[in-house]
Structure 1
Amino acid sequence: MIVPVPIFQAKLHKRGFNQAAVIGEHLSKLLGIPMGDCLIRNRETKEQYGLDKLERRLNVNDAFSLNMLYNVKNMKILLIDDIYTTGSTVHECSKILLSSGAKQIYVLTAAAGTNT
């Protein structure tokens, strides 16, 4: 299953789209793999830009949870994010998915940022 990293609802309403979800939708159609909003962003977080590795990790700590409408047990997940810098966001999302029973997590990002 393809799973985009979610953005907070207020940011989604302001921006009008989730860039990870847009990428995920295209991949889902292209590859014939279902996409699911398996993750929920529980709270707004600071922008990761300009934060060091520890600040990034703390910023996203407990920011995500599993959407209880989905059962990820024994599933292989392709986690989609827009930018990978320190890996804090995908690490936190992967932790939630694995603790909920996902079998394997693969990560795909559109870009790699520089480590701050």
Structure 2
Amino acid sequence: MVHDWRALGREFSVRMRRTAQGYCWLCGYANAVICGCCTTCFADLPRLAPANLRPAGASDHCLYWLAAASYQPPVDRWLQQFKFQQQPALAKHFAALIAAQALAFHKQQRMRLPQCLTSVPMPNQRWRQRGYNQAALLGREVSRMLGIPYQDCVSIQGHKGEHFTAQHRLSASARAQAMQQRFIVREADTFAHLASLEHVAVIDDVITTGNTISAVALALLEAGVGMVSGWALAYTPAEQVKG
């Protein structure tokens, strides 16, 4: 199949202008009425029930995993717009989905919401390329919506993060190896604060194998947090994860 790349580029530019004017982020045509989507596109989202997605018997350090949607069309390309096509404004729409899912889950489980939110950090080199950390944008927006304090307290240990391959390009086993000893709580005065917290939620855009969220959770637990959960917009079903 031969693509007319100029025509595709023009179509993309038109669609981005239309979304900026209040049209649906996914189809680019109908009026956006729910989380940046038209009613048709919103109904097509592969929404997940507010349930614990952490596999039974998992050896990670999270109490539970929570995500609003399955990582499949059209959510996958929606996230690609957010991460790779310079669309940070999508954070507020994604955060609304995450916040709604968190409220539903905690009400269903009769659990208190976490006392603090944080997010998965990004290597400096990738931040300079992109200009923002999408997980941090989500964390701050969810914090604003739920009224839970957000603290940017975790960093990538040493300089290893500068040379890490992007996680979405790695196999499940390679992810697990890459995450070992990767994160650290960076400020000494933060330790005393975190040690007083019973529950902190770590926010990322996608949970795939859970290795990234788990590694951040380990750093927080070692800093004294009582328990840690993982929140994301999307979850990759186990059958889609490459071994």
- Give the TM-score taking structure 2 as reference length: 0.46
Give the structure 2 partner of residue 53 of structure 1: 172
Q: CA deviation at 1:49?
A: 2.1
CA distance in 2, matches of 1:41, 1:66: 9
* Helix, strand or coil at the partner of 2:225: coil
Question: Structure 1 residue runs of 4+, over 6 Å off?
Answer: none
Aligned equivalent of 1:102, options 207, 222, 225: 225
Aligned equivalent of 1:66, options 185, 191, 195: 185
Q: CA deviation at 1:51?
A: 2.1
Alignment RMSD: 1.3
Q: Indicate the larger mover: 98-107 or 66-75.
A: 66-75
Q: Does 1:115 align with 2:241?
A: yes
Equivalent pairs, count: 116
Q: Where does structure 1 lack aligned partners over 5 or more consecutive residues?
A: none
Give the structure 1 partner of residue 133 of structure 2: 18
CA distance in 2, matches of 1:52, 1:12: 23
Q: Where does structure 2 lack aligned partners over 5 or more consecutive residues?
A: 1-115
Percent identity, aligned pairs only? Answer: 27
The amino acid of 1:48's aligned partner reads Q
More helix per residue: 2
Q: CA deviation at 1:50?
A: 3.6
Q: CA deviation at 1:115?
A: 1.2
Q: CA deviation at 1:46?
A: 1.2
* Helix, strand or coil at the partner of 1:89: helix
Alignment deviations for residues 44-66 of structure 1 (CA, whole Å, 9 cap, x no partner): 22112242222101112122111
The amino acid of 1:111's aligned partner reads A
Higher relative contact order (Cα pairs below 8 Å, separated by 6+ residues): 1
The amino acid of 1:73's aligned partner reads A
* Helix, strand or coil at the partner of 1:70: helix
- Give the TM-score taking structure 1 as reference length: 0.92
Computing the radius of gyration over CA atoms, which structure comes out larger, 1 or 2?
2
